[in-house]
Amino acid sequence: MRPDRPKRPHRLVRWGRFCVFALLAAFALLTLVRAFVVDVYSVPSESMEPALRPGDRIAVLKWPWQRTARTDDVVVFDGRGSLAPESPDGARRTAAWLVGRNEGDQFVKRVAAVGPARVTCKGADGALLLNGQPAGAASAPLTGAENCGRKRFDSLVPEGRLWLLGDNRAHSTDSRDLLGAPGGGAVPDARVVGRVIAVWHTGGGS
């Protein structure tokens, strides 16, 4: 008499186990990619118009870019200790996690200066100067009344810090609002989450 062979799991059961394992592996991989390499954010405010409009999606490269910021890069950064206290109700948040997670301390702005540098806004024309020269794309005519907006300033940006501005100068909370604070309006480059590498315009906003 032949001994009974152990029963193999039914084919549908094996297929179900494989699907569950594949989904868990894919979720784990996606979580790692979003945490350390590339993530996607939404833009709920008009502070970076016309480049970024409310409702746009942006892909942000995290590693290995974080601390190699260049002038005119558009970056997402952690605003805790700098801009975040300026918007406790979230009215001026400029970047948020997708998939229901909303981080009120994440912001997206343009790098106007990388320290050590001197950033200046003087005169009736409101021209933005970096080390005495026009500040690249950050000094181009943008949404808002003036190139550097409502305030005049002459600020030294220390090494290891960034001077950050919204393109829509009339509706942006940025380094101009931190004048007189520690760092003189500049944000530590260690706070940078990553650089914007792609934009999906949704047609939302005005």
Half-sphere exposure of 31 (CA within 13 A, CB side): 6
Residue 180 dihedral angles phi and psi, to the nearest 5°: 95, -15
Highest mean pLDDT among 58-72, 142-156, 173-187: 173-187
Task: Spell out the domains of the chain, with CATH numbers in brackets.
Answer: 38-200 (2.10.109.10)
Range from 84-88, 90-94, 151-155, 170-174 carrying the lowest mean pLDDT: 90-94
What pLDDT sits at residue 161?
Answer: 92
Q: What would you report as the CA-atom Rg of the chain, rounded to the nearest whole angstrom?
A: 23
Which pLDDT tens digit goes with each residue over 67-96? Answer: 678 888 999 988 887 777 654 433 334 444
DSSP string, 139-201: GS--SSSSSSTT--EEEEE-TTEEEEE-SSGGG--SGGGGTTSTTTT-EEGGGEEEEEEEEE-
Average pLDDT, the chain: 75
What amino acid occupies position 97? W
Which amino acid, 68? T
Distance CA 137, CA 2 (A): 82
Pairing of strands 187-188, 106-114: unpaired
What separation, in Å, do the N-terminal and C-terminal C-alpha atoms of the chain show? 81
| Identity of the residue numbered 16 | G
Q: Is the pLDDT of residue 13 over 80?
A: no
Distance, CA of 184 to CA of 151 (rounded, Å): 14
Is residue 193 predicted with pLDDT exceeding 70?
Answer: yes
Q: Which residue has the tokens 């100068």?
A: 169
53 with 205: CB under 8 angstroms?
A: yes
> What pTM value is reported for the model?
0.73
95-117 pLDDT tens trace: 444 443 345 688 899 998 898 99
SS3 category, 189: helix
* Max CA pair span of the chain: 103
User: Whole-angstrom Cα distance, residue 110 to residue 168?
Assistant: 10
Output the six-digit token pair for 2.
């032949």
> Which residue would you say has higher pLDDT here, 200 or 205?
200
